[in-house]
Amino acid sequence: MLNLNRRAVALAFAGVLLATAGAASAQQTVIIEKAMPAPIVETVPAPPRVGVAWVPGHWVWRGRAWFWVRGHYVEGVVPPMPAVIVETPPPAPSPRHNWVRGHWAWEGARWNWRPGIWIHL
């Protein structure tokens, strides 16, 4: 009788473990990311005149791919690119969607944050 009770308790415990593991794996979200490529090393040329500042080259998402914006000089002052904003992606619209992480882009004489988006492949 004692062995039967131990066996019943062990089976009940195993059932709880399996149910917990199943619920945890069902709640996990797999995010496939279209990762930004590594930065391209550029040589900064001498400024063409006084009063210009260098905008470093950087990746931006355009349409369906990452695009390298080459470094270039602009009039005025260029502050350093701000720190990346950490985003929590919303649920994927479908399993065929990939996440494109948010990033900074130099637009309109300033750094602008482009939030992350889901893209359909």
* Shared-domain flag, residues 116 and 78: yes
* Shared-domain flag, residues 25 and 64: no
pLDDT at residue 34 in the model: 92
Question: Quick one: CA torsion of 75, 80, 86, 91, rounded to 10 degrees?
Answer: 20
* Shared-domain flag, residues 65 and 109: yes
* Shared-domain flag, residues 21 and 79: no
From the CB of residue 87, how many other CB atoms can be counted at a distance below 10 Å? 12
* Shared-domain flag, residues 25 and 58: no
pLDDT at residue 2 in the model: 44
What residues make up the domain containing 58?
Answer: 52-120
32, two tokens: 């496939």
Question: pLDDT tens-digit profile of 80-102?
Answer: 999 999 999 999 999 999 999 99
Which residues have CB under 8 Å from 73's CB, separation 6+? 47, 48, 52, 53, 54, 55
* Shared-domain flag, residues 62 and 10: no
- Whether 45 is in a domain gets the answer no
pLDDT at residue 7 in the model: 53
Give the residues across from 117 on adjacent strands: 100
pLDDT at residue 31 in the model: 82
* Shared-domain flag, residues 84 and 115: yes
- Whether 38 is in a domain gets the answer no
Q: Structurally, how many domains does the chain consist of? A: 2
The answer to whether the beta carbons of residues 103 and 114 sit under 8 Å apart is yes
- Whether 109 is in a domain gets the answer yes
* Shared-domain flag, residues 72 and 102: yes
pLDDT at residue 121 in the model: 78
Question: pLDDT tens-digit profile of 23-66?
Answer: 444 455 678 899 999 999 999 999 999 999 999 999 999 989 99
Q: What stretches of 1-121 show up as alpha helix (H) in DSSP?
A: 2-27
* Shared-domain flag, residues 65 and 108: yes
